A and B are shown apart, each in its own frame.
Chain A
Amino acid sequence: EPEVTQTPSHQVTQMGQEVILRCVPISNHLYFYWYRQILGQKVEFLVSFYNNEISEKSEIFDDQFSVERPDGSNFTLKIRSTKLEDSAMYFCASSEGATPGGLTFGSGTRLTVV
């Protein structure tokens, strides 16, 4: 069964450093998403991406965040200067679009900012 692949599974970084979280969505999917889940809290929408541009972003997705689909297969989330409060599980998801059949999520990257 097709799946969304995220790397790395764990990332530890120092405060102020840049991190790039990587995702390979399902190949025929057209819509891509990043969500995050702070430990013990709900899953929060960060950004959606379609046709090589951001279609929607949340208040969380400020200027420190950016997304890119550099090569037609990878979908990345960059945090320019990490803060302690960025520590969370970050989930990538993709969907076929048109009629939302639900998003397919990756297993997540646990980001720890120290």
Chain B
Amino acid sequence: AQSVTQLGSHVSVSEGALVLLRCNYSSSVPPYLFWYVQYPNQGLQLLLKYTSAATLVKGINGFEAEFKKSETSFHLTKPSAHMSDAAEYFCAVSDRARDDKIIFGKGTRLHILP
């Protein structure tokens, strides 16, 4: 069965500092991997996705993530945090052999300190 583990339910960074949100996956087959963001009282918005092309994936709002098979990781980074980045971030995995569900991690709430 597939799963993702997000390390840290809460992460705080100062405005302008590097953002690093960690995600490790478990999958018996090569996975598709995603990061979604949820702003307060809103739905889930796709930030970026890995579908087996380049291992470094660039997304919206300056975020990027790198797929590392050897580490089974898909960490999300942003060089310089903005106050508007404060939100809940979810890593997710799906089985590339099937066209169905995405499994989400528990989420990491990102706090931006002024």
Chain B positions near chain A (C-beta within 8 angstroms): 32, 34, 36, 42-46, 49, 51, 90, 94, 96, 99-107
Question: How far is A76 from B66 in the complex, measured between Cα atoms in Å?
Answer: 37
Question: How far is A111 from B49 in the complex, measured between Cα atoms in Å?
Answer: 30
Q: Do A107 and B43 have beta carbons less than 8 Å apart?
A: yes
Q: Which residues of B contact A97 (CB under 8 A)?
A: 99
- Within 8 Å by CB of B44, from A41, A44, A105, lies A105
Q: Which residues of A contact B49 (CB under 8 A)?
A: 101-102
CB distance from B43 to the nearest CB of A (A): 4
Q: Do A91 and B44 have beta carbons less than 8 Å apart?
A: yes
Nearest neighbor of B109 in chain A, beta-carbon distance: A40
Question: How far is A107 from B43 in the complex, measured between Cα atoms in Å?
Answer: 4
The reply to whether the CB of A60 lies closer than 8 angstroms to some CB of chain B is: no
Nearest neighbor of A56 in chain B, beta-carbon distance: B100
Nearest neighbor of A97 in chain B, beta-carbon distance: B99
Nearest neighbor of B107 in chain A, beta-carbon distance: A42
Nearest neighbor of A58 in chain B, beta-carbon distance: B101
CB distance from B27 to the nearest CB of A (A): 13
Q: Which residues of B contact A31 (CB under 8 A)?
A: 99-100
Question: How far is A91 from B45 in the complex, measured between Cα atoms in Å?
Answer: 12
List, sorted by A's number, 24 A–B pairs whose CB atoms are closer than 8 Å.
A33-B101, A35-B104, A41-B106, A42-B105, A42-B106, A42-B107, A43-B104, A44-B104, A45-B104, A48-B101, A50-B100, A56-B101, A91-B43, A93-B44, A99-B51, A99-B99, A100-B32, A101-B51, A102-B34, A103-B102, A105-B36, A105-B43, A107-B43, A108-B43
